[in-house]
Structure 1
Amino acid sequence: MSDERASIRYVVDDVQAAVDFYTTHFGFTVNSNVAPAFADVESGPLRLLLSGPPSSGARSTPADMNVPGRNRILVVVDDLDAEMERLDAAGVPFRSDVVSGPGGRQILVTDPTGNLVEVFEPK
């Protein structure tokens, strides 16, 4: 592969709201934005493709593929408690309680469409 980035596509209801969410709350930068159809934002080696309703990337999938999954992007933070306070103050909805495990602690939040983002503090 010639591209050193990993790309993930999220189908979103509102491209601009998704761009604002990822740039404001998680420090992504905008690579391109042709809202309402499409935008892509980047953070390090991650390129997040945001496809709105008028885009080809948001076309319906076959009925047998419309099963909700547990896929999500993961954002690593140094201080989960501080991030939770910051996100809560900004009105970002939490989808889980804090979960602790052998690798660290995490909480799930959702973007404006409901796509999951795992906020993770490693041990």
Structure 2
Amino acid sequence: MTTDLAGLVSVRYLVDDVGSALAFYTKHLGFTVRTDFTPAFADAVRGNLRLLLSGPASSAGRPMPDGTKPGPGGWNRIHLIVDDIAAEVSRLRDAGVRFRSDIVTGPGGQQIVLDDPSGNPVELFQPA
């Protein structure tokens, strides 16, 4: 695992509950805890991806000058490569993970989008 921040690509997700999000990513998607400052913030690593999990108490969760509150959700997402998408989907469905769709097949491979506990999307992708 790379611990040098310069060697990692960082993506921030706003989450409702840092502990639940950290458990989700480590238990279901193969991330390893890097730091844990629950309830405000934690980060986890998978390969060269550093996922920053920022809760409402984190600096990233503070309202903007116009009062808008940052929150989870949307369609931008991290993209995780898997070897057997059908097996991964089956394993995750058995664990109660919520999917936004069924597996979609395109020219580059197969993909499916799931939600973390806060509603942030994660794409699983199996190349063709």
Fold shared, TM-score > 0.5 on shorter chain: yes
Answer yes or no: is 1:95 the counterpart of 2:100: yes
Name the residue aligned to 2:116.
Answer: 111
What is the percent sequence identity of the aligned residues? 55
* C-alpha separation in 2, matches of 1:58 and 1:7: 17
- Secondary structure, counterpart of 1:3 in structure 2: helix
What RMSD, in angstroms, separates the aligned Cα atoms of the two structures? 1.7
What does 1:29-108 correspond to in 2, within 5 Å?
29-61=32-64, 63=68, 69-108=74-113
- Secondary structure, counterpart of 1:30 in structure 2: strand
Q: Write out the 4+ residue segments of structure 1 that deviate beyond 4 Å after TM superposition.
A: none
What is the total number of aligned residue pairs between the two structures?
A: 120
Counterpart of 1:7 (choices 3, 7, 10) is 10
* C-alpha separation in 1, matches of 2:103 and 2:120: 18
* C-alpha separation in 1, matches of 2:74 and 2:26: 24
Aligned-partner residue type, residue 4 of structure 1: G
* C-alpha separation in 1, matches of 2:91 and 2:21: 18
- Secondary structure, counterpart of 1:70 in structure 2: coil
Instruction: Answer yes or no: is the 8 Å Cα contact 2:42–2:54 preserved in 1.
Output: yes
* C-alpha separation in 1, matches of 2:62 and 2:104: 34
Residues 19-70 of structure 1: CA deviation (Å, up to 9, x unaligned): 000001111000000100000000111000000111101123455x98x642
Instruction: Answer yes or no: is the 8 Å Cα contact 2:74–2:120 preserved in 1.
Output: no
Gaps of 5+ in 1: none
